């Protein structure tokens, strides 16, 4: 008890009384975005600088107290909330939201970890550049969280995951020391790549306090199309054609099954889903081309693509947005799928990837198995087909009670889907990470050699096990 009070007093001294929260409604910090889990923190600590983060970590290390870093708390795998013991410090980085520097010639912005993604996108645009990371949570997720999870989003096909957009990091390690790796170099082979080790480590190896992120030229033109396709094979065929016809111009390629679209149509009737009355098409694709060429040139190439796709039978019907507002509407439909699905009720989510060439066979196999084992289940299958990443979600049968369905079927459904993913050479986490949600599942689908190396890295960098201990790699509570 005295130890706990001493730690709280030390934390108050570091960040100020107002930024050590122990009372009042802490739901926003303690509950995960999907409201699956609710933890309880010893305190929510809100530092304002890297020095304060370092001092907080030192104090926690001295008291062998676990720390859970949190940005926007929009993560989908329960990685950013404390466990239920009331003994962990929740370190919220949201006060550290400054843009530190803009380097026009190096094409970089250096920002603090708590900077909201949308703030960075807008700052880049004001300077005439593009920061291409884009996802539906961009109004509330932070760069630190994007890096912590190596977030993907809708433009990976052209610009890569967050990892590819980062040229440098500033990190506080588990001992409370600051590593300044913000040089912003495009080439740097001086030993192990610590930046890439930290990215995607979900707050288990260090706390990211700032990052240098890459900018790109703003495209001169952007075109979006919607295509109804006769099968998943056809969608993959269309993707191949899109690569051939659009080259580097292809920036987004998303797929949605018909059931996902009927949910958007049902729960968001204000959105006009193209061809929704045509019951013959099982999938729709939204694709985007961004170019440095004029819109006229880009449109001609886009239309040539669609003509070829029609001729080959991989597109049944298509519409190319005439203007930005129509394009936004098409993307809005795609981005509304998770919300429409939530409106329909609880579901069992999977964020998987499979080599693109094997996706049609995987979907056929896994869907047939699910239909056989879970009669009446409804599959919400959508995602970033251009990256081989599907959100392969299983909704309870119509009229079934969501919580009961989850309680009784989640384990079975997960194993069925993940076994199929393994059989097809895929990954059980494409872009959301492992968090606490999949920490028990990871060892069943990751190679023992890879797991042993991961544990060795964790042990070397965080020997007390104080950084996000329930996340990703399971081990006992912090070492005494």
- Using CB under 6 A as the binding rule, whether residue 212 contacts ligand FAD is answered as no
CB of 396 to ligand FAD, least distance (A): 21
Distance CA 381, CA 376 (A): 15
Closer Cβ to ligand FAD, 213 or 298, answer by number: 213
Closer Cβ to ligand FAD, 69 or 184, answer by number: 69
Distance CA 52, CA 44 (A): 14
**Structure-token pair, residue 327:** 């394009």
Q: Show Cβ contacts of residue 134 under 8 Å, excluding neighbours closer than 6 positions.
A: 121, 153, 154, 155
Contacts within 8 Å (CB) and 24+ apart, 158-161: 158/132, 158/248, 158/250, 158/251, 158/252, 158/290, 159/132, 159/133, 159/216, 159/251, 161/431
CB of 178 to ligand FAD, least distance (A): 13
Distance CA 4, CA 297 (A): 66
Which residues, 416 to 445, sit near ligand FAD by CB under 6 A?
431-432
Question: Helices in 109-169 by DSSP H: which ranges?
Answer: 117-126, 143-149, 156-159
CB of 448 to ligand FAD, least distance (A): 24
CB of 390 to ligand FAD, least distance (A): 12
CB of 220 to ligand FAD, least distance (A): 26
Closer Cβ to ligand FAD, 108 or 429, answer by number: 429
Closer Cβ to ligand FAD, 33 or 445, answer by number: 33
- Using CB under 6 A as the binding rule, whether residue 207 contacts ligand FAD is answered as yes
CB of 128 to ligand FAD, least distance (A): 26
Choose, by CB under 6 A, the member of 153, 168, 274, 469 that binds ligand FAD: 153
Q: Which stretch binds ligand FAD (CB under 6 A): 134-142, 301-309, 393-401, 403-411?
A: 134-142
Choose, by CB under 6 A, the member of 22, 33, 176, 303 that binds ligand FAD: 33
The answer to whether 47 and 15 are in contact (CB under 8 A) is: yes
Closer Cβ to ligand FAD, 44 or 208, answer by number: 208
CB of 207 to ligand FAD, least distance (A): 5
- Using CB under 6 A as the binding rule, whether residue 166 contacts ligand FAD is answered as no
Our measurement of the distance from residue 124's CA atom to the centroid of its chain's CA atoms, rounded to an integer in Å, reads 21
Closer Cβ to ligand FAD, 142 or 251, answer by number: 142
Q: Which residue is nearest to ligand FAD (CB)?
A: 145
CB of 406 to ligand FAD, least distance (A): 18
Count of Cβ atoms closer than 10 Å to residue 276 Cβ: 17
Closer Cβ to ligand FAD, 11 or 133, answer by number: 133
Distance CA 443, CA 451 (A): 7
- Considering CB under 6 A, how many residues would be counted as binding ligand FAD? 36
Q: Please count the residues of the chain.
A: 480
- Nearest-10 Cα torsion for 61, 66, 69, 74: 180
Choose, by CB under 6 A, the member of 7, 47, 54, 72 that binds ligand FAD: 72
- Using CB under 6 A as the binding rule, whether residue 148 contacts ligand FAD is answered as yes
Choose, by CB under 6 A, the member of 113, 287, 348, 366 that binds ligand FAD: 113
The answer to whether 287 and 225 are in contact (CB under 8 A) is: yes
Angle at 26 between CA 404 and CA 119, to 5 degrees: 100
Our measurement of the distance from residue 379's CA atom to the centroid of its chain's CA atoms, rounded to an integer in Å, reads 21
**Structure-token pair, residue 129:** 């550049």
Q: Which stretch binds ligand FAD (CB under 6 A): 71-79, 212-220, 276-284, 409-417?
A: 71-79
State the pairing for strand pair 88-92/41-45.
parallel
Choose, by CB under 6 A, the member of 45, 111, 135, 363 that binds ligand FAD: 135
Closer Cβ to ligand FAD, 96 or 417, answer by number: 96
How far apart, in Å, are the Cα atoms of 133 and each of 69, 121, 395?
21, 8, 29
Angle between helices 50-62 and 2-15 (to 10 degrees): 170
- Using CB under 6 A as the binding rule, whether residue 48 contacts ligand FAD is answered as no
Q: Which stretch binds ligand FAD (CB under 6 A): 200-208, 230-238, 264-272, 412-420?
A: 200-208
- Using CB under 6 A as the binding rule, whether residue 235 contacts ligand FAD is answered as no
| Contact set with ligand FAD (CB under 6 A) | 33, 68-76, 79-80, 93, 113, 135-137, 141-142, 144-146, 148-149, 151-153, 202-203, 207-208, 338, 431-432, 468, 471
């Amino acid at each position: 008890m005295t130890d706990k009070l001493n730690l709280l007093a030390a934390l108050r001294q570091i960040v100020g009384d107002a930024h050590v929260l122990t009372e009042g409604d802490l739901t926003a910090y303690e509950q995960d975005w999907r409201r699956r889990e609710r933890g309880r923190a010893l305190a929510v600590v809100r530092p304002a600088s890297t020095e304060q983060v370092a001092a907080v970590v030192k104090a926690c290390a001295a008291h062998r107290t676990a720390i859970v870093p949190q940005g926007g708390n929009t993560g989908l795998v329960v990685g950013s909330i404390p466990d239920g013991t009331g003994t962990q410090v929740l370190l919220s980085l949201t006060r550290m939201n400054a843009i530190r520097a803009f380097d026009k010639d190096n094409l970089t912005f250096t920002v603090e970890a708590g900077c909201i993604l949308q703030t960075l996108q807008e700052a880049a645009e004001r300077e005439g550049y593009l920061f291409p990371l884009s996802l539906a949570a961009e109004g509330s997720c932070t760069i630190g969280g994007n890096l912590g999870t190596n977030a993907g989003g809708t433009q990976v096909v052209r610009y890569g995951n967050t990892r590819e957009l980062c040229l440098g990091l500033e990190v506080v390690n588990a001992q409370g020391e600051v590593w300044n790796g913000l040089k912003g170099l495009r080439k740097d082979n001086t030993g192990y790549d610590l930046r890439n080790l930290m990215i995607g480590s979900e707050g288990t190896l260090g706390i990211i306090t700032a990052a240098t992120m890459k900018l790109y030229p703003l495209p001169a033109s952007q075109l979006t199309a919607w295509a109804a396709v006769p099968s998943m094979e056809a969608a993959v065929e269309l993707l191949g054609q899109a690569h051939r016809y659009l080259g580097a111009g292809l920036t987004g390629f998303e797929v949605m099954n018909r059931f996902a679209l009927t949910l958007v149509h049902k729960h968001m009737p204000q959105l006009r889903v193209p061809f929704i009355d045509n019951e013959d098409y099982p999938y729709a694709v939204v694709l985007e081309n961004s170019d440095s060429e004029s819109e006229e040139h880009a449109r001609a190439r886009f239309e040539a693509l669609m003509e070829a796709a029609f001729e080959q039978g991989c597109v049944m019907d298509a519409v190319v947005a005439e203007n930005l507002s129509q394009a936004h509407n098409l993307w809005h439909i795609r981005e509304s799928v998770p919300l429409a699905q939530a409106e329909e009720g609880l579901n069992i989510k999977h964020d998987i990837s499979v080599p693109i060439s094997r996706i049609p066979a995987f979907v056929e196999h896994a869907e047939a198995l699910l239909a056989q084992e879970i009669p009446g289940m409804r599959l919400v299958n959508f995602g970033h087909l251009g990256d081989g990443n599907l959100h392969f979600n299983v909704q309870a049968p119509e009229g079934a009670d969501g919580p009961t369905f989850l309680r009784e079927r989640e384990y079975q459904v997960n194993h069925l889907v993940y076994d199929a993913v393994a059989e097809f050479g895929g990954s059980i986490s494409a872009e959301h990470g492992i968090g606490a949600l999949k920490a028990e599942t990871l060892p069943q689908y990751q190679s023992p050699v890879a797991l042993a190396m991961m544990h060795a890295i964790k042990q070397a960098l965080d020997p007390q096990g104080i950084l996000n201990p329930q996340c990703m790699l399971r081990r006992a509570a912090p070492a005494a």
